Amino acid sequence: MPALERLGQLPRLPLTLAPTPVEELARLRQALGTESQLLVKRDDAIPLGFGGNKVRKLHVVAAQALAEGADTLITTGGVQSNHARATAAVAARLGLGCVLVANGVPQARPTANALLDRLLGADVRYVSAREERDPAMQQAAAELRAAGRNPCVIPLGASTAHGAAAYALAVGELLQQISAPDTIVLSSSSGGTQAGILAGCALHRLATRVVGVSADDPAPAIADEIRRILQDLGRLLDAPSAFTNVSIEIDDTRVGGGYGIATPESTEATELCARREALFLDPTYTAKAMAGLMALARAGTLKGTTLFWHTGGQVALFA
């Protein structure tokens, strides 16, 4: 059975995930003076749990958890993690328990994603450092198993083979909407979304350039994670060499002061997209990705059609 067919047979959540809109960014194109047609794929518009790429990933990841009989989802992230909020939303919709391990200090008055986590009924446990997150998830899982529960531990960002499979499937969704774009630009951090898009392009034999713009880590670290996820996805699809020669492109020049810290370029991107297109970006991920796209446009290196894959996160504007 071909890998693309195996991909299409993976279990998915019994929740509606309609194709997200593809819109033209004509006024942004005019502002940037680029010849490339600019489009945006609106995964920020996924209805469940304020949307975003994590909800799309969980469409497959949580289906795997259900198939394994899970009654609780456990995951991790920062206090304002989009992934944590998406996991809590999916758990609430499915009637599952949810434990979130958040590194950071609890807010006296929760805002943005932290507020939504509480409204969704998640059990939020705090640790002081990133290095403590995985042990805390395993401890929570052990406690639940001892109580007769069946938890599923979902790694940071749902950046697993199943999470990537959701974005490989999304490439097929995109091709039902438009012809293959010449370039796709997106935010890249834990690597799963970019790995999935790269896999989808490979499976559909597209020559599309995929540019991941780092929100935090150096390019080699993200590229290593993407290679690991692609290897796992290849094994999942019984095609271990399917993604061996995939070209991975990461722009880590937009990180600035680090994770969640705005740069002058990301602030400009946020304001320009809002004022030209009424398109809202988030300060941690998509604003930096759009800053990367804008730099490419102004350098004259974008040709044909360029698609910005909006991965959501705009709830962070209210943090």
Which residues carry out catalysis? Answer: 81
Count of Cβ atoms closer than 10 Å to residue 177 Cβ: 12
> Following CA atoms 1, 172, 189, 101 in sequence, which dihedral angle do they give, to the nearest 10 degrees?
-80
Structure tokens at 54: 């994590």
Helices 286-299 and 264-277 pack at an angle, to 10 degrees, of 90
Cβ(90)–Cβ(163) below 8 Å = no
CA distance 103 to 127: 5
Q: Give Cα 173 distance to the centre of its chain.
A: 16
Strand (E) positions, 55-182?
Answer: 72-78, 97-103, 123-127, 151-153
Cβ(270)–Cβ(296) below 8 Å = no
In order of 39, 177, 221, 229, the CA distances from 23 in angstroms are 6, 10, 32, 29
Question: Closest Cα partner for 212 from 160, 248, 165?
Answer: 248
Number of residues that this document lists for the chain:
319
